[in-house]
Amino acid sequence: MSRWDRAALEALDKADPLAAFREQFQFPDGLIYLDGNSLGALPRRTLARVEQTVTQEWGEGLITSWLGAEWITAPRRLGDKIAEPGELIVADSTSVNLFKAITAALSLRPERSVILSETGNFPTDLYMMQGIAAFSGGRIRAEAVHEDAVLDRLGDDVAVLLLTQVHYKTGAVRDMAEVTRRAHQAGVLVVWDLSHSAGAIPVGLNAADADFAVGCGYKFLNGGPGAPAYLFAARRHQAQAMPVLSGWMGHAAPFAFEDCYRAAEGIERFLCGTPPILGMAALECGVDLLAEADMAAIRAKSLQLGRVFMDLMDEHVADHGFTLVSPREDPRRGSHVSYAHPQGYGIMQALKERGVIGDFRDPDVLRFGLTPLYLRHVDMLDAVLAIRAVCETRAWDDPRWAVRAAVT
């Protein structure tokens, strides 16, 4: 008899303090959505808010809505809901914010030359480092070392360390406080990418003495496709860190239309262009909804979903060639669980046809995002049963999936 039979899982769902949140989201009938770590689901409240933004604020208020509907303060208002007030703004994409955060950190360590990261970090993190190095004309070097070698590489030539708190592929959690402490000992500033952690695990930027951070609005914040991203800069750095992307919205007096850039005093100096208001409106709904949930409960349920999922995989598909990629130990695991399988791509396509959506990452990794706000414990069982059915029927072996789609 399985520990996680349907009755046991239904009992967990009944006792789940977050269970009511599921009703706050729209879902296609019968779908098991294990990809909230790539694109979060749609909060039901979002449509009305976006409609209001379009028809009332834009259509009726027109230009006056920059003040009248508080568009102009949206980057800071949303930021104050995500982190400590005055330390985070919502703006641009994660990639652009990576550029801002890395160059801001470089401006605080002018005598140092290396941007350090780990191989296998999310590609855009590495690419943005490389772009900065290429543009610097040899002044700055981008260096990525094996994840196990990062701390040993911290030396007095390193200006900035760029790491992701929860790894996009493996779901492994970095100890933000300990890594930051080690980096600071070496005089190195740290930029944390929170894309797979904010909204999924307690982050604790100031408890970890974090310097800079960036992250994504469309995963666990449920802000919608291509939602605006965010940038955190610790208050102690704000006055000295110089924005390279010195756009008018980061100016001390944007509407004075001066010829010379003067950075705004606080976190607003990391704004650049005009804020994307439709995206902001949708993101605010996701952020508000998340704020109604208890983060400790989110973390507890996320870990439990992970344990249940891994137990069920052990029980039902042990003989089918899956290798666990994610850490099994709770403290080291984020909110998604990944497995490697030689037929990973085909398996994921076959699962999608059966109404189980996860995603695939080259070369062979299946990712299953376990989002506590809208998943039930019984979904873990139904997902694993679908995986077993795919394996037992070799449904991955389908000519339609012989050529991989460019977007996975």
Contact 267, 132 (CB under 8 A): no
Residue 169 falls in the annotated catalytic set:
no
For the record, the structure tokens of 209 come out as 């003495």
* 38 near its own copies, judged by CB under 8 A: yes
Cα(192)–Cα(145) distance, integer angstroms: 16
| 56-75 binders of its own copies (CB under 8 A) | 57-60, 62-67, 71-72
* 228 near its own copies, judged by CB under 8 A: yes
DSSP 263-307: B-SSGGGG--S---HHHHHHHHHHHHHHHTS-HHHHHHHHHHHHH
* 277 near its own copies, judged by CB under 8 A: yes
- Contacting its own copies (CB under 8 A), which of 86, 131, 266, 355? 131
Residue 168 falls in the annotated catalytic set:
no
- Contacting its own copies (CB under 8 A), which of 171, 215, 243, 306? 243
- Contacting its own copies (CB under 8 A), which of 23, 111, 259, 319? 259
Q: Single out the segment in contact with its own copies by CB under 8 A; choices: 5-13, 77-85, 129-137, 375-383.
A: 129-137
Distances (CA, A) of 161 to 101, 145, 209, 211, 306: 11, 11, 14, 10, 29
**Which residue lies nearer to its own copies by CB, 226 or 327?**
226
| Amino acid, single-letter form, for residue 148 | D
* 224 near its own copies, judged by CB under 8 A: yes
Q: Single out the segment in contact with its own copies by CB under 8 A; choices: 78-86, 124-132, 156-164, 197-205.
A: 124-132
* 190 near its own copies, judged by CB under 8 A: no
Residue 367 falls in the annotated catalytic set:
yes
| 336-365 binders of its own copies (CB under 8 A) | 352, 357, 359, 361-362
* 46 near its own copies, judged by CB under 8 A: yes
Active-site residue, selected from the candidate residues 25, 33, 122, 339: 122
Cis peptide before 363 (omega within 30 of 0): yes
Cα(97)–Cα(231) distance, integer angstroms: 6
Active-site residue, selected from the candidate residues 112, 153, 174, 219: 219
- Contacting its own copies (CB under 8 A), which of 16, 24, 35, 194? 35
Helices (H) and strands (E) in the chain, counts: 13, 15
Count of alpha carbons within 13 Å of 366, Cβ hemisphere only?
28
# residues contacting its own copies (CB under 8 A): 98
Q: Which residues of 174-196 are buried (b: 16+ CB within 10 A; e: fewer)?
A: bebeebbebbeeeebbbbbbbbb
Point out the residues that are catalytic. 122, 193, 218-219, 367
